[in-house]
Amino acid sequence: MLAPAADLNMYLFVAAVLFVCGVVCMATKRNAIGILMGVELVLNGANLNFVAFARHTPLGMDGQVFSLFVIVLAAAEAAIALAIALNFYNNHLTIDVDRADELKG
């Protein structure tokens, strides 16, 4: 009883779901950190695509190298976004992004 070998389309499907979940998360959440989590999901979906293409197409290692860059940059992005969220919290005592409307004309 052998499982059918996972092909590229399966990975593409998972990556697409991750990506869409991230986009919906960014669009609907009002918590700043929730939005950040949506960004992480989107990056993760992209990462999965990079690695899947590296395995299943002649791209070779380049996909994996890219995904490493994405992981490291996501860590940096999370640090800076968290600092912004903390600063926002210090000034407004909430991290509800709908309350960040001071620049409205």
Partner 1 sequence: MSWLSAPIDAVAWLFQGGAVYVFALMAVACAVAVVVSQNVVRMAFWLILSLAATAGLFFSLNADFVGAAQLLIYVGGTLVLLIFGVMLTASGPFLQIKSRPGEMVLGGVVGLVLLGLILSSAISVDWANRGPRSAAETVGVGFNTPSSGNTTRELGLKFLGANPKDLGSSRSTLSPGFLLPFEIVSVHLLVVLIGAAYLARTKRRRDTANSEASNLSAS
Smallest gap from Cβ 31 to partner 1, in A, equals 5
Residues contacting 91, CB < 8 A, separation 6+: none
Smallest gap from Cβ 10 to partner 1, in A, equals 6
Question: Which among 78, 85, 80 has a CA at the least distance from the CA of 100?
Answer: 85
Smallest gap from Cβ 105 to partner 1, in A, equals 20
Query: In this complex, which beta carbon is closest to partner 1, that of residue 22 or of residue 104?
Result: 22
What CA–CA distance (Å, rounded) separates 2 from 82? 46
